[in-house]
């Protein structure tokens, strides 16, 4: 009863928070509380984590401000860091994709912003070096995320951050409220505050009123006090552009955040105190990094006692990237591989070192899969936490995704109508496309997954998609395979007929997955007692016959709203991926752009419920 009362209290607080954000302004400004890595949001959303979802718009296009700093001085490096579209980033900032920018230049980053749990976020991932959650949030990402959210989002403690770990990084973004949209706001820009900034000056740069900025951030119009190394939201009627980039201030790492003050005496005291704190923090940081380096060296030295020598030869360096688990830990986590813990034929759910994980048991050579996953770094690709070997059997420990595979989710009849909406379907498609775009265009060498299917796409509790099962993936592209392996209905014709492997086989399979999202049917289904390929049926049928009935939208009077326009646009995109000629298929970056153009147009208030 006590637990129920506590949960009810938290729910009511959350509703009140959402309600007040709607009436008082879009968000509440965090102030310098965001620098505290021990904040709590148990009683409701806190600006010390991310920006709070409003109930009116679950997803949107948003923009982030980023100041160039080594090694992030090019379109490709910044887009990799933020998982944004490099072509869009290049266009908005009027810079070429090959240009090397000077340090301290302002760049606008376009992102797909969506509500997940209590907060909006644009998801990316980051490969850790000798860093802490605080330095990643405030130095690398310049305050575009928070150490509180990083700690919650990742299964590693502060002392477990060793070089090579893949971290999930939710970036600060937000969508406008109905009131802001009615006042002409189309986008919200997450603006990075630095020294000398003031709300009137920032408002003038973007040609917006001080009142609208104050309303968007929940602070006073008369005396809006802002702090360096924090963010505020700028409501924009149009997308930001290069003409607004003409200012530049050096970035200083925020050892201590100090508010703007009017007295020069206080400024001198603040600078002196800040310098002293900086020296102290630098000394502590050096000690911490030396401690971590010692732990990493010790871990690497013990690695040979835990994995076979011939396996180590194939995966040189994984000791610095992955955790090496003991067999008794794996056994305990899965209750000795209990049938109740089994998720599929060879995958088990378990709790390992306090984290919910999925354990894959296999006797095949996993060195290639481990090497590939250890070198990949993207939110929409499954994370490999560690590995174990026992009596010739390998156990791969992955992050656990609560909703299971996309195939299972689409077949689930008891899913809520809120879950089965165009908004979620397109976001899932965009997640998968973004993951494949990263594999094809942002890894060196490029990778081909080679086994894309709804079975190998997993969903977390917020219905965000991640690509899994890299057992068939390969680094070298545009090659031939001596044997054909894959799931019926997803394999490209050139792969089936001649064993040709290129990124276009993934594009073809994605086209089938997109059809599954549109129709709710499997890649192969039975009709009139015969097996039918979805890719063939989609070309021959009418659009309205194809659309999943669960996606039907009704207006307040109960009449069905015509969905053929949305369905037609997605269907055309899918068919462009399914062209029999590989060279005529879209590339994954073109698919991402196509989905991002469709995504804003599908929003309809009647499609969503609280």
Cis ω for the linkage preceding 583 (within 30 of 0) = no
Give the closest residue to 450 by CA, choosing from 526, 363, 372.
Answer: 372
Burial 58-76, CB ≥16 within 10 A → b, else e = bbbbbbbbbbbbeebbbbe
Q: What share of the chain is helix, strand, coil (3-state, %, to 5)?
A: 40, 20, 40
What SS3 class is residue 388? strand
Q: Which two tokens stand for residue 241?
A: 């552009």
Strands (E), 88-143: 106-116, 119-127
- The DSSP code for 561 is E
CA distance 552 to 554: 7
Torsion of CA 463, 469, 473, 475, to 10 degrees: 70
Q: Which two tokens stand for residue 156?
A: 């590693």
- The DSSP code for 491 is S
Contact 445, 492 (CB under 8 A): no
CA distance 383 to 559: 44
Instruction: Give Cα separations from 339 to 78, 342, 347, 398, 407 (angstroms).
Output: 45, 5, 11, 19, 22
β-bridge pairing 560-561 and 530-533: unpaired
Instruction: Give Cα separations from 527 to 484, 521, 531 (angstroms).
Output: 27, 11, 6
Active site residue 391: no
The C-alpha R_g of the chain, in whole angstroms, comes to 25
**DSSP secondary structure letters along 64-81:** EEEE-BTTB-BHHHHHHH
Catalytic position from the list 41, 451, 548, 589 = 451
Cis ω for the linkage preceding 445 (within 30 of 0) = yes
Kindly give the residue spans of alpha helices, DSSP state H, lying in 83-170: 86-93, 133-135, 147-153
Angle subtended by helix axes 564-577 and 422-441, to nearest 10: 20
Element (H, E) at 497: helix 493-498
Instruction: For 64, list phi and psi in degrees, rounded to 5.
Output: -120, 145
Burial 218-248, CB ≥16 within 10 A → b, else e = bbeeeebebbbbbbbbbbbeeebeeebbeee
Element (H, E) at 537: helix 534-540
**DSSP secondary structure letters along 149-199:** HHHHHSS--GGG--TT-EEEEEEP-----HHHHHTT--EEEEEEP-TT--H
Contact 574, 521 (CB under 8 A): no
- The residues with which 533 forms a beta bridge, in sequence order, are 524
- The residues with which 72 forms a beta bridge, in sequence order, are 69
Residues marked active site are found at: 451
């Amino acid at each position: 009863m006590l637990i129920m009362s506590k949960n009810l209290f938290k729910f009511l607080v959350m509703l009140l928070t959402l309600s007040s954000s709607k009436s008082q302004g879009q968000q509440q400004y965090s102030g310098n509380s965001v620098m505290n890595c021990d904040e709590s949001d148990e009683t409701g959303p806190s600006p010390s984590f991310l920006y709070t979802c409003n109930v009116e718009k679950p997803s949107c296009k948003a923009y982030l401000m980023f100041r160039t700093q080594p090694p992030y001085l090019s379109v490709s490096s910044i887009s990799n860091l933020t998982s944004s579209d490099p072509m869009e980033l290049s266009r908005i900032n009027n810079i070429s994709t090959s240009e090397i920018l000077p340090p301290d230049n302002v760049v606008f980053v376009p992102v797909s912003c969506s509500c997940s749990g209590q907060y909006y976020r644009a998801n990316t991932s980051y490969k850790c070096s000798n860093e802490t959650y605080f330095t990643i949030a405030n130095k690398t990402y310049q305050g575009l995320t928070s150490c509180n959210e990083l700690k919650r989002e990742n299964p590693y403690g502060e002392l477990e951050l060793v070089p090579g770990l893949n971290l999930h990084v939710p970036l600060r973004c937000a969508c406008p409220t109905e009131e802001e949209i009615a006042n002409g706001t189309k986008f919200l820009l997450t603006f990075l505050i630095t020294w000398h900034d003031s709300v009137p000056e920032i408002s003038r740069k973007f040609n917006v009123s001080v009142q609208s900025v104050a309303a968007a951030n929940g602070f006073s119009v008369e005396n809006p006090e802002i702090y360096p190394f924090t963010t505020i939201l700028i409501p924009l009627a149009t997308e930001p552009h290069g003409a607004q980039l003409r200012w530049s201030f050096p970035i200083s790492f925020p050892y201590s955040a100090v508010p703007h003050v009017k007295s020069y005496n206080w400024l001198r005291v603040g600078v002196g105190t800040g310098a002293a704190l900086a020296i102290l923090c630098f000394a502590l940081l050096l000690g911490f990094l030396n401690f971590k380096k010692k732990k990493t060296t010790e871990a690497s030295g013990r690695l040979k006692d835990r994995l076979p020598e011939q396996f180590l030869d194939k995966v040189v360096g994984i000791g610095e990237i992955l955790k090496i688990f003991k067999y008794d830990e794996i056994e305990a986590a899965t209750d000795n591989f209990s049938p109740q813990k089994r998720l599929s034929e060879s995958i088990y759910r378990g709790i390992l070192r306090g984290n919910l994980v999925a354990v894959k048991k296999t006797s095949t050579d996993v060195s290639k899969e481990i090497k590939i996953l250890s070198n990949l770094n993207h939110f929409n690709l499954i994370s490999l936490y560690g590995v174990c070997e026992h009596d010739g059997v390998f156990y791969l420990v992955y992050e656990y995704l609560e909703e299971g595979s996309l195939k299972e989710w689409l077949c689930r009849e008891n899913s809520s109508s809120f879950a089965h909406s165009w908004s979620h379907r397109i976001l899932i498609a965009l997640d998968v496309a973004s993951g494949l775009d990263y594999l094809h265009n942002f890894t060196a060498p490029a990778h081909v997954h080679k086994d894309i299917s709804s079975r190998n796409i997993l969903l977390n509790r917020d219905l965000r998609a991640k690509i899994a099962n890299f057992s068939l993936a390969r680094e070298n592209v545009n090659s031939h395979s001596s044997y054909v392996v894959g799931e019926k209905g997803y394999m490209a014709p050139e792969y089936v007929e001649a064993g040709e492997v290129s990124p276009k086989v993934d594009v073809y399979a994605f086209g089938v997955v997109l059809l599954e999202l549109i129709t709710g049917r499997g890649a192969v289904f039975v009709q009139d007692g015969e097996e039918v390929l979805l890719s063939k049926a989609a070309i021959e049928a009418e659009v309205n016959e194809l659309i999943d009935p669960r996606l039907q939208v009704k207006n307040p009077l109960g009449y069905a709203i015509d969905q053929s326009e949305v369905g037609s646009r997605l269907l055309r995109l899918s068919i462009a991926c399914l062209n029999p000629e590989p060279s005529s298929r879209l590339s994954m970056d073109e698919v991402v752009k196509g989905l991002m153009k469709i995504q804003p147009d599908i929003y309809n208030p009647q499609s969503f419920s609280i």
